[in-house]
Amino acid sequence: MNVFLGSVGLVTLALGAIGIINIMLVAVADRTREIGLRKAIGATNRSIMFQFFVEGAFLTLLSGGIGIACAAGVMAALASVELG
């Protein structure tokens, strides 16, 4: 049972990571003009990459916090259900 739950958790994390990667790829593709403008006024590659890293980390932490809160609520609701 623990192996199964661990596998489900791993698949869930992988799908979440793929979702965030997809969101960040779309963000970069949509903002190529902004990136070009920032490069033109002197921004370094490092500062631009750092901006997208911070945005990705923020999305990850926010969605993780929401997921943990929802899971805690579901677990509390299921704990109060009597079976049988």
The pLDDT value given to residue 30: 94
Q: Which two tokens stand for residue 22?
A: 């997809």
pLDDT tier at 83, thresholds 50, 70, 90? confident
HSE-CB at 29 with a 13 A cutoff on CA atoms is 6
* Mean pLDDT confidence for 54-80: 90
pTM for this prediction: 0.70
23 CB neighbour count, 10 Å cutoff: 14
Q: Does the structure show a pLDDT above 80 at 84? A: no
Runs of H (alpha helix) within the chain: 2-30, 32-40, 45-79
pLDDT tier at 16, thresholds 50, 70, 90? confident
